[in-house]
A and B are shown apart, each in its own frame.
Chain A
């Protein structure tokens, strides 16, 4: 079996996909969160500033989802096929909402009528919140396991997806993104909108802290397979500890008005949460509730080593480039938002 740094290709590609989805959660997380907060801003100018704060970057952020989907298709076709066909209806709804969100951002500014703008504001806010929630629900189902047979085909019903655990993961994801989005917006705004956002940062941080606490208790009490890895490898306990410190550091940095560091802390929180997900799932990617023998693992659903080798090379060349020009774009638009003739 071919390895790099002692890790086999399947595991490495699992890490690449984990990395891309973490990048997606950090980047699209803040603009989805900003969207979910949109209706809390009352004045037209505030809404425009909030929208233009994410204006130049949201499209680029969403690309990480496309890369993640492509990476999954390429590296683990079995998982891609099983998950996407199992979640048929939720994914179709997800796509519809994604389209509505994109068009509300694009179309809102094109007419000045108050009803037009209000309509797209509502559409933008609800779609952002729904996307965050649905992403969480999908993650929740993956953590819990879904009924799939020996051929990787889903055997459950639509109602299966909205189980209490997945709904809790959905709400926690929404809360996390709202906090992350509020911190991003506070970096981008001035004056009264800024003052209002500092309050929002506090409230959303409380909302997230409560959600994650309840979710953690629920997981530990009722879903034992999601703490196996950390229970068996006690050194891994540093991951949840680091996460708690990262959350605490958000409030500390907000109090010091060092919002850039607060944003880094909330990004670290997102990463650590997904690292916990990864270590608890690995080597499984989809857990079958029908029988552990039907689990889709990084080994039984991966592409050939030849194919994975090519893709690792593509990623090794491509990812640094993506990071370089993402940084360039964010650097170009750093600082507070100023509206001009080309703005939304």
Chain B
């Protein structure tokens, strides 16, 4: 294998692994802000206990996120030196801003969040929790802005030629607010909220099924369900907005997402299917003219197909683009249905009676993870063969000084280390969940209507 494919595999592997953690940090952070906010407002120990328990899980996730994140920052230079020289001037400033404004904020206050319970007042502690969450959200802004610039570059000019060519910034705000930034940042944020909320839902559902820490689990479940429902619905809007940007600015990618080949014809929207690359057609269940309708509001409007583009300007892995995109959408729709169904049962006061529903929620923790990964795979493989859309080809972006055997070495190294890391993560996460919140006797909400329930469950002193 050549350096290009090896470097792409390594980047895909390390970024996919990394991307398990930051969305969980952002989402869990938000849920923790809600919990600690409730504690400050009501003074109820239950909420304090909740925050403390999820803080410990947060610490585990955050630690791995930082460790695997430094790898990403180094990899631009080690494997993609030409790319780094090409884009450095433009989004170097975005990365510098991320380091200074976002990353330093979250890591600095993390110490207070984790170890400061007895050192600072509850208000200052809450402030630290908010700062950590804001910090992780800020870092999502800058990194997604940088990626969005690669998808829809604006605010730059090109200087030099060939390998010495580079993009030079002409307008900072035009670079930051390039056509896809806002849509994609919101899409990523909401995806992260869903990931965090579903983690809390899963852990709570597990306790409810095991009949352990019940008041704790029920209350956390409801908080997380609110976040999950609102976010899943909002994601429909944000996702659609992102697709609109693709339709306008990356027509070749749009054609690949829906497997649309014919030149300037009305395009269908597929619910399920696959791309027959040999015969250049897509087979499956579709809404005729659906894509034309979604992008132009007219079932007969022409949409550019893959045949509009030269072979060397089309994404190569068509089925990866198509399948990951459709997987993401299906999961998104399922999560909307699931959370709305759960809310309806909450309204009818029968939320925790359906055992099967709790089972579904327990396993649903994987859904947002899958959807997040699939969405990024669609976005990034759909951008190929470009690393900066229309400007720099992925094959031209490599480090000239790096040889295939060096990348094989690092790829093996990362595979071993990350496998070990993942095994440890799962083991420790499982252990923390099994251990549960530290003071079960504090689980009891002493408000009158719950006292009888506490007696029934054997929580009395």
Contacts and interface: CB of A to CB of B under 8 A. Distances in A.
Interface stretch (A221-229, A251-259, A300-308): A300-308
Contacts of B84: 73, 77, 80-81, 84
Interface in B312-358: none
Interface residues on B, range: 35 or more
Contacts of B413: 92-93, 96
A59 B66 contact: yes
Given A59-B107, A332-B116, A314 B100 contact: yes
A95 B111 contact: no
B178 interface: no
Contact of A306 (B52, B95, B168): B168
B101 A318 contact: yes
A60 B96 contact: no
A114 B48 CA distance: 32
B98 to A, nearest CB: 7
A191 interface: no
Nearest to A72: B77
Given A110-B428, A306-B169, A70 B81 contact: no
The prevalent SS among residues of A at the interface is helix
Given A59-B110, A74-B88, A88 B166 contact: no
Nearest to A158: B406
B109 A325 contact: yes
Interface in B257-283: none
Nearest to B92: A74
Nearest to B73: A69
A52 to B, nearest CB: 8
Contacts of A63: 99, 103-104, 107-108
B165 interface: no
Contact of A70 (B64, B96, B409): B96
B134 interface: no
Given A63-B99, A88-B399, A333-B115, 20 more contacts: A55-B111, A55-B115, A59-B63, A59-B110, A73-B84, A73-B95, A77-B84, A77-B87, A81-B84, A91-B74, A99-B71, A103-B63, A105-B63, A106-B63, A151-B163, A151-B400, A314-B97, A322-B100, A332-B119, A333-B116
Interface of A: 52, 55-57, 59-60, 62-63, 65-67, 69-71, 73-78, 80-89, 91-93, 95-96, 98-100, 102-103, 105-107, 110, 151-155, 303-304, 306-307, 310-311, 314-315, 318-319, 321-322, 325-326, 328-329, 332-333, 340-343
25 contacts: A60-B110, A70-B98, A74-B92, A80-B88, A81-B81, A85-B399, A85-B401, A92-B409, A96-B413, A99-B417, A103-B67, A103-B421, A151-B400, A303-B92, A304-B159, A307-B168, A310-B93, A311-B93, A319-B100, A322-B104, A325-B105, A326-B104, A332-B112, A342-B115, A343-B115
